[in-house]
Structure 1
Amino acid sequence: MARAVWSGSLTFGLVTLPVQLATATESHTVRFHQLERGTSDRVRNKRVNERTGKEVPYDKIVKGYDTGGGEYVVVEPAELDEITPGRSQAIEISGFVELDAIEPAYFDSTYFLQPRKEQANVYGLLRDALAETGRAGIAVMSMRQKDYLVAVHEQGGVLVMHTLHWADEVRDPHETLSNLPPRSEAPARERKMASQLIEAMAMEWNPHDYRDRTQERVRELVEAKRAGETVEKAEKPPESTNVVDLMSMLEASVDQARSSRTGTGRKEKAARSKAGTGAGARAGTKSGAKSGTTSGTRGGTAKKTAGKKPARKRSGPDLGGLTKDELYQLATEADVPGRSRMNRAELERAVARSAKSAA
């Protein structure tokens, strides 16, 4: 279990919920010590007076703000302690915004919120309400002698808190970047082909499909040197695409993506058929339902399971046979809030509720 980095209360309206914060991430970067070449002697950093070259003890160090021209405004540690906030005891939510309205550039660090055992019901109430509405609570809190703008929302059945950058910390991209083309500069044919490539390469997000290859190669290098071996050098990055060849490269990319997807789809279908849950079984279910027969349909299954309650009739489609992408499309058409963060089961329930309320 991760150690709590903050304890206090989360308040919204007149409701107070005691919580603890735990960091949501941990670095997997390979760490090195500094050594003197040819020895195993550690190299340490020291605070040294740049004029005299002598080491300065920590209690003799003050902070100085550079005003230019070699002039400094000196600030004592005690003076900073008097004006900076102490650790706050509460995350006071001032209001709720659409989570999708917060631009990604504003997100900084992420924390998980954990309740006390006796307050689990209140925690669950706020979590489920935020998931249902697709909103995030906004608050300002103090931690580590700093004020933080934070957003609290539901993710994966847990309340999550993000520290956010302040507005004046986020740069305007149009002032920061140069050589940005206007939106309508690309030819319509190329834009259409680029859209087709994106659709052909569409997939579901799964972070476990990716890994930090650089850190893996660093570990391989360490192990190889330990064993007296060598490792291959990394491949050179691909060259930039020539503008003249852009259309042909797009067309070739679309063909490659489609053929790759077709091959993947065949493998998945074969695997499902082998497991007894192939697409043919679902097709039989749908065709049976259309022709009015009970063979392979939910109704036929219900007859075999005597003693169980009959399944409730749905006015909408057979949600159990839809893919997550198809469920997401239905959720989009029904304008289900928070749909972009739902897993497949949550999407199915949300679409079912929407269909029921519409009926």
Structure 2
Amino acid sequence: MHTIWKGAVSFGLVHVPVRMYAATEDRDISMRYLHKVCSTPLQYVRSCPTCEKEVGWEEIARGYEYEPGRFVLFEKDELDALGGEANREIKILDFVDLTEIDPVYFQKTYYLGPGDTGAGAYSLLLKAIQDTGKIGIATVTLRSKSSLAAIRVIDRCLAMETIFYPDEIRAVLQVPNLPEAGQVNEKELTMAKLLIEQLSSAFEPEKYKDTYRESVMQAIQQKIAGQEVHAAPQPERANVIDLMAALQASLDAAKPAAAEKPASRQAAKTTRGAKKASGEPPEPTTPRGRGRKRTGS
């Protein structure tokens, strides 16, 4: 893995040297913009309309527009200096339960590996988080942007989740046309709960596939081979008029899958029981849902 940041995690007066690595990767299929006439890739240049010339990176500064057309300028070194030591420190401020953080706050996950020194301090923090079942809430500055972060454990590795500040979360009241709190048909509610129960299962991320990316890759290979690509027409979905009928049809469709779940759930319980007996730590849970189990324990 490529190191993208070096610094330290601090809690109290303890400093843990760490190296940061991206925990996720973008698997989207990258396509370039071409000129249709000759298939030449388009180029994007940084140009100044006043000087009428292309501008190199060494001539670029950052500016804040405080009035229309009027800016205060900053060099990169000035912005870095404003952060001071915070640019190289992940400072833990508090320890909380993971379930107290709503998923809307989470941004991106990073792995934190041990630095060149301080392996003992790294192991100490990791073990302490595991045993207490807590996560650390910290501040960090990455790429000239300050953010909050959650320090937790994934398997045997410290991980950092950048999270939004509260004032970066838009109020729900800004969402238009939200329904007023009103009466719900009890029969429809009972059927909806039953449908949710039948569709409920343990989270198994490996069973979810990016079908769109697979379709695009298949189309790319067909085009390379000189084949014509024809997408099958998608059936039009009719507007749901009878909600009860739609719920009943959904329940009927979910029954075959629900019948297979007891065996898979029993297998999951057996696996967990075997791990518990052997002393192996349980699989970590993801922070992408409310009501999840604590990680790092």
TM-score, normalising length: structure 1: 0.67
Higher relative contact order (CA 8 A, sep 6+): 2
> Share of identical aligned residues, percent?
31
State the superposition RMSD in angstroms: 3.5
Query: Is 1:43 aligned to 2:42, yes or no?
Result: yes
Higher strand fraction (1 or 2): 2
- The CA deviation at 1:260 is 2.6
Cα distance between partner residues in 2 of 1:15 and 1:210: 41
Corresponding position of 2:25:
26
Mind listing any 5+ residue stretches in structure 1 that lack a counterpart? 283-317, 323-327, 329-337, 347-359
Corresponding position of 2:185:
187
Cα distance between partner residues in 1 of 2:32 and 2:262: 48
Cα distance between partner residues in 2 of 1:142 and 1:35: 37
Higher helix fraction (1 or 2): 1
Corresponding position of 1:246:
243
Residue aligned with 2:242, SS: helix
- 1:147-183, Cα deviation, whole Å (9 max, x unpaired): 22111012233211011111111111222x1222234
Cα distance between partner residues in 1 of 2:14 and 2:33: 51
- 1:257-280, Cα deviation, whole Å (9 max, x unpaired): 1233215657x69xx9xxxx9xxx
Cα distance between partner residues in 2 of 1:24 and 1:100: 21
Query: Is 1:217 aligned to 2:215, yes or no?
Result: yes
Instruction: Please give the residue correspondences for 1:132-171 in structure 2 after superposition, counting only pairs within 5 Å.
Output: 132-171=131-170
Greater gyration radius: 1
Alpha carbons 1:11, 1:92 under 8 Å: kept: yes
Cα distance between partner residues in 2 of 1:181 and 1:27: 36
Corresponding position of 1:85:
83
Which amino acid letter does the alignment assign opposite residue 193 of structure 1? M
Corresponding position of 2:122:
123
Cα distance between partner residues in 2 of 1:234 and 1:188: 40
Which amino acid letter does the alignment assign opposite residue 144 of structure 2? Q
Q: How many residues align?
A: 281
Mind listing any 5+ residue stretches in structure 2 that lack a counterpart? 277-281, 283-290
Residue aligned with 2:245, SS: helix
Residue aligned with 2:83, SS: coil
- The CA deviation at 1:103 is 1.2
Alpha carbons 1:64, 1:72 under 8 Å: kept: no
Alpha carbons 2:80, 2:144 under 8 Å: kept: no
Residue aligned with 2:8, SS: strand
- The CA deviation at 1:202 is 0.7
TM-score, normalising length: structure 2: 0.79
1:240–1:50 Cα change, 3 Å: farther
Alpha carbons 1:62, 1:74 under 8 Å: kept: no
